[in-house]
Chain A
């Protein structure tokens, strides 16, 4: 090679290198697109969105801006932004339970076609309840599930063993367990601990807790029977009847075995108490299962069992308002004579897109939610406590290795997933209320009455009257016929 050729080659090579360095990277699909996603003040739920956003940006070019607001403000803030036409929020991760209020005025984008064309999301892997109920309204898909939500009861396996008790099967068992464990030192710090820790703070998550207790007494003939109202005239079951009275009695009695400030605790507080070893029992979503295996914070690793929500041997006779013993006719889904009615509280955090957002932003928002839901990401997220995401894909229930790798023992994983699966597969599952303005029924009327009961402002009779009167008033304000029709269609009643 001549010197001239060598120099020419060198110059050409250097030029190519320089050009390659100066040339812009291949344009990504959503370069320059920013998605404003609203959800509640975390760390749960917001954490995985924020953690995965930079990777999503690298892969697609879309920047994800996660806006957080307190949980109790989320429904209203989002609705205000979208109904007033401000539209500063392009998409949101919120409760599918609220979907009805967003779909009716045309605020939520119909994503049925996108989901149908999206192979990466592996739709068939999403459990049928979430795929067919949580994500859909009137047969169309409006939301993408990112989290599976069922309430269940957590108990301390070591405490049960020490006290010679079985996991609670009925709510009476729950009370007996709580009573036996209350006042004992459960974490070896020399101080008396608590039999039961339930989030009972007003304006937080407590109304789901009372529904979890009441459901077993109120619904026994399957999901389409409904656990909130009579399907003939929308008269509230949360009214003056022996079943609701019994649920209120049990709920009030759990307070005796709880921390002194239990009525000011939300789920964040009760989770901390449980994982720090101070509680023998708790009612919660799937979060405690994964928080309990956190090596840095948990003091109850491998000491936690989970069971489906306890049931009852007596259920409501809707004609007479009395409690009657379970028979195969009255409680066709009962096991060993015990009627369980697992409660799909909240329905699982899901992503929805603003129908008025820019088309390119809508595409990017859908791509982001799909990215979050795809098994390669969600199968990891559901095993991390801080995410607040609980299993909702069939692969997450089937693959025990996911959980053992995350730090759960095989037995604990089987317990935990078993309790969720039992809830998920129950034909007597209770669907959360999804009629228009369900917030007023649950978060205002029911929540206030229960808070007043716990505070001693009302007795059980007063609380029952109060809830029934408030619910009837809201129903009449919004039109009984329309509400009844919405209620029946959400639970699949004839």
Chain B
């Protein structure tokens, strides 16, 4: 990377000879010059090296170790501990073995609602694939990517369709996907709505901006405990209100769906401010002249939002959803504190599932769950980015 003209090694040696240096000094001189030259040549790589080493130690190394763990069985022995290679046994247990009910769910019969989900899901996948194939701009990479993403999506639709409703029960993978989709949808709609309101010229908007932002500052476990207190129907601060509404004896934690929704509400309370603050910046950076021109032309507020505001903030919206989706896949604090994953395993997220196995020393099983989560979340997030965020950005450009 050096811009300085470098002298060749024979020239330097000759120079040293002329100076009458002894052979030992000459060798030392040549070595020193060689190192300097080598350092000059590799300075770029050397500058990057500390960062690379850091990433390798804190990101890649744990990934490799946990991959090894997921293929192993941990056991305490007299010499400390032993990790025995067992191939894909931990994954087999999750997908086809004793933990299938926990990971994928329990299938008994297809309920009407499950059938509807499958019809809508497979229909949407087929339609999207058809549109891509009919578009004429097919690439090998694009096709492979879509096939991988749609296979996974198809699997998820099948899993939901067969384990939801009736006597079937969903597993921790479906519960996590429910938290991701329902949570992010609620957070996005409310966060964007509040941001839109605060971007208008209304009284007290500065005050509301601060108020809406506060929950984001609180630590997730703090939120979970606060929410647990708020959601206590008998002793919480809203107990008189619940009692007056006839809900004093309602045990939300005893019903699978109410427990899951309470987790979603708690998560939304925490994350709406994040969506709010990002979307507020997007709304406020939108050029005013386009909106004013539309107003002059007599466009209704709805038309202005649909045709001018939304297209301008859509790429930011897609990015904020992507960030939230990635985060939501890792949810653990709220179900752990609010319900401990109950009733049964109804509100257990994948991360909580992995955490419970880990703390009982089933390190291999725990790593297998974590890796499964990594596969699912990576494929879905990459698909979301390529199929939704990128086209939005291209459209905007």
Could you tell me which A residues sit within 8 Å of B by CB distance?
Answer: 72-73, 75-76, 79, 83, 101, 104-106, 201-204, 259-264, 436-437, 439-440, 443-444, 448, 451-452, 454-458, 466, 469-470, 473, 477-478
Give the top 6 A-B pairs by smallest Cβ distance, nearest first: A455-B344, A455-B343, A264-B253, A261-B251, A76-B359, A260-B251
Instruction: Write the nearest CB–CB distance from A389 to chain B, whole angstroms.
Output: 25
**Nearest-CB residue, chain A, relative to B339:** A264
Q: Using Cβ atoms and an 8 Å threshold, which residues of chain B touch A105?
A: 76-81
Bound CA–CA A440/B99 (angstroms): 13
Q: Using Cβ atoms and an 8 Å threshold, which residues of chain B touch A477?
A: 73
> Is B362 among interface residues, defined by CB-CB distance under 8 A?
yes
From the candidates B254, B340, B345, name the one contacting A204 in the complex (CB within 8 A): B340
Q: In the complex where A72-B359, A455-B346, A457-B346 touch, is A470 in contact with B81 (Cβ < 8 A)? A: no
Q: In the complex where A105-B77, A469-B98 touch, is A263 in contact with B360 (Cβ < 8 A)? A: no
Bound CA–CA A455/B359 (angstroms): 23
Inter-chain contact B360/A437, CB cutoff 8 Å: yes
Bound CA–CA A201/B343 (angstroms): 8
Could you tell me which B residues sit within 8 Å of A by CB distance?
Answer: 73, 75-81, 93, 98, 101-102, 106, 169, 233-234, 249-254, 256, 339-346, 356-362
Instruction: Write the nearest CB–CB distance from B365 to chain A, whole angstroms.
Output: 9
Bound CA–CA A202/B251 (angstroms): 15
Inter-chain contact A470/B98, CB cutoff 8 Å: yes
From the candidates B77, B106, B359, name the one contacting A104 in the complex (CB within 8 A): B77
Instruction: Write the nearest CB–CB distance from A94 to chain B, whole angstroms.
Output: 13
Inter-chain contact B342/A76, CB cutoff 8 Å: no
**Nearest-CB residue, chain A, relative to B256:** A455
Inter-chain contact A457/B80, CB cutoff 8 Å: no
Bound CA–CA A377/B344 (angstroms): 42
From the candidates B252, B340, B342, B356, name the one contacting A444 in the complex (CB within 8 A): B356
Inter-chain contact A440/B362, CB cutoff 8 Å: yes
From the candidates A72, A202, A263, A439, name the one contacting B361 in the complex (CB within 8 A): A439
Inter-chain contact B341/A264, CB cutoff 8 Å: no
From the candidates A83, A440, A448, name the one contacting B345 in the complex (CB within 8 A): A448
Inter-chain contact B344/A452, CB cutoff 8 Å: yes
Inter-chain contact B254/A263, CB cutoff 8 Å: yes
Bound CA–CA A427/B46 (angstroms): 72
Q: Using Cβ atoms and an 8 Å threshold, which residues of chain B touch A262?
A: 254
From the candidates A75, A203, A455, A473, name the one contacting B356 in the complex (CB within 8 A): A203
Inter-chain contact A79/B342, CB cutoff 8 Å: no
Inter-chain contact A76/B361, CB cutoff 8 Å: yes
Q: Using Cβ atoms and an 8 Å threshold, which residues of chain A touch B340?
A: 72, 201-204, 264
Bound CA–CA A104/B361 (angstroms): 14
Besides A203-B341, A448-B345, 19 new A-B residue pairs in contact (Cβ under 8 A), listed by A number = A72-B340, A101-B76, A104-B78, A105-B81, A203-B356, A204-B340, A260-B251, A260-B254, A263-B251, A264-B253, A264-B254, A264-B342, A436-B75, A437-B76, A439-B359, A455-B344, A457-B345, A457-B346, A458-B344
